[in-house]
Chain A
């Protein structure tokens, strides 16, 4: 793979997430009934950061859950590899809550679709928002994000790499290109 460009540096990422945190509270008219759900892997630290920012400017705690969508993937009967199943831990009742699904990149929309199905099996939320750090286009399903850090037009042979200090040791979003086969 060939490196093409830096899409966000650490400071830009912080600002984007801070803005998203504000937009979430504004859309929900406060933090009443609000909860964040981070999707494995990088959605989890992103959800925790957004919760921390909301705590900073609202002085209120927003619960954070973690969701693994593996068992809800639509390609388990066709893929040649077995994805690792990971933990789902949502330590609060989601029924009646306004949930914000948090993920790093929105691409085909299939992960978000799986996440919606998974959440519906866990309860009946009042509504579900979708927040992503990067929307790179190429949707295959009628899904859109409510809160977006950065919209990036991409080609299908490009890869968006989100690096987070909690997982990767640094905060940075990069655009890479797959080499021609």
Chain B
């Protein structure tokens, strides 16, 4: 694997090998000195054309804990000539000697295009509604930690599936590890098809006997666009203690953050024992350290 754009063409052994490395990185994060010299001499740029403080911090910390140098670029691009300005920005960074680019963009495909513009490694930090591979990797890692295996496990993803790159990347990745993925949401927020997943507008069907439940954030824009009415959403799709009784007992709960308490998720559930939200954040760093190690070490420079 030369870049991390999505999981097209990935094999199960490759994913498992990467997650094995992430387990070692998680142990590094438990040490008194949470830093190893592995990526000394490498430079990582976080290039965020769309703002995201959490993901950027997670990547930057991951790179620093591996002893890479880090530069960060946050851009407000004009809506015109976006293609051109993405390219110019990356070429400018390229001239400064960057080894890896973590790219976040509001339009799909920017990280793919970037691989044609720069020589360095490209890591997709989330592009449009297309993919967010490191989020899916940290979700898989967290699920494996909680369930032991994903083989034959039913994972329910609930919310705005249509606009969610998190859902899309998980639907690509989790079945690769043997999981059966169900996605549920209002008909206006479900895609026509989603290869790899079973779609349903009925929350109960997705939750029934689920081994784990992933709740997505409901964006305000969707309500403003009239795709969903808040009270209807809460009435039919909010994941509550009561509705979770359909799932396996103590089925863990994941959320990519930031959470809208009492909208997509009953507020008290977020702090309950079954919530793995804090584990997800912690594991995110370990997974990103592993991704940087796998992509940068052994590469022709």
Contacts and interface: CB of A to CB of B under 8 A. Distances in A.
Pairing of A with B: yes
Interface of A: 68, 70-73, 76-89, 117-118, 121-123
Interface string B47-84: 00000000000000000001000000000000000000
B23 interface: yes
B36 A81 contact: no
Contact of A121 (B21, B23, B35, B38): B35
Interface in B7-33: 17, 20-21, 23-25, 27-28, 31-33
B27 A87 contact: yes
B28 A71 contact: yes
Given A72-B38, A78-B301, 8 more contacts: A71-B36, A77-B40, A80-B300, A82-B297, A83-B297, A87-B27, A121-B35, A123-B32
A174 to B, nearest CB: 29
Contact of B298 (A68, A79, A123): A79
Contacts of B42: 77
A86 B24 contact: yes
A96 to B, nearest CB: 14
B204 to A, nearest CB: 42
A83 B39 CA distance: 13
A73 B294 CA distance: 15
B37 A72 contact: yes
Contacts of B298: 79-83
Contacts of B297: 76-77, 79, 82-83
Contact of A122 (B20, B32, B66): B32
Interface string B249-290: 000000000000000000000000000000000000000000
B293 A85 contact: yes
Nearest to B25: A85
Contacts of B33: 121-122
A85 B21 contact: yes
B226 interface: no
Contact of A77 (B21, B24, B32, B301): B301
B195 interface: no
Contacts of A87: 23-24, 27
B39 A76 contact: yes
B23 to A, nearest CB: 7
B148 interface: no
Contacts of A83: 297-298
A68 B41 CA distance: 21
Contacts of A78: 301
A91 to B, nearest CB: 11
A79 B294 CA distance: 13
23 contacts: A71-B38, A71-B66, A72-B36, A76-B39, A76-B40, A77-B39, A77-B42, A77-B297, A79-B297, A79-B298, A80-B300, A81-B298, A82-B293, A83-B298, A85-B293, A87-B24, A88-B27, A121-B33, A121-B35, A122-B31, A122-B32, A122-B33, A123-B32
Contacts of B32: 121-123
Identify the interface centre among B27, B28, B32, B297: most chain A CB within 10 Å of its CB.
B297
B298 to A, nearest CB: 3
A24 B34 CA distance: 31
Contacts of B40: 76-77
